[in-house]
Amino acid sequence: MYCKNCGEQLLPDVKFCQKCGTPLENASTVAPSISQQMKFPARDRGPVIIALGILAIIIFGPFTGVPGWVMANQDLNDIRLGFIPGTSYGTVRTGKTLNIIGTFLSLVSLIVIGLVGIILFVFVTVAGEMVCTVF
């Protein structure tokens, strides 16, 4: 027998579903549909996505920002399809935003550091030539 509430297969001679606690009157001998079995997998990666976004902003940049961004896109798609509860939407969306910000901030900082390095190199080279021409 199967629980009509969650689709869990029930053991014989039980009065309540082991998974959701629904009384046995709601049991059915028909197997649940695939969509009912896949209702909500036990996966909430929202806090992990937020942690990756914070790390992307603080230190690691694209090394944690891009994977967190990809995970967030997958989870948002699964929320839209109904595979993950909608209560995770805010956490996942916040994590995606943090990962995007962290990735772009790190890329911008690398460009700025590169430009400052080039400017310093040119300045030191020109200043060195000026010192050599004076003496």
Q: Are residues 79 and 15 in the same domain?
A: no
Which pLDDT score, from 0 to 100, does residue 120 have?
93
72 and 34 share one domain: no
- DSSP lists the bridge partners of residue 2 as 9, 28
Q: Could you tell me if 60 and 2 lie in one domain?
A: no
**Which positions of the chain have pLDDT values less than 50?**
26-27
Q: How many domains does the chain have?
A: 2
Tens of pLDDT, residue by residue over 116-133, are: 999 999 988 887 776 666
Asked if 14 and 23 touch (Cβ cutoff 8 Å), the reply is no
61 and 96 in one domain?
yes
Q: How far apart (Å, rounded) are the C-alpha atoms in residues 61 and 69?
A: 12
Residue 10 shares a structural domain with residue 72 = no
pLDDT of residue 126: 83
Identify the domain containing residue 9 by its residue range.
1-39
Does one domain contain both 5 and 57?
A: no
pLDDT of residue 118: 95
Q: Do 13 and 61 sit in the same domain of this protein? A: no
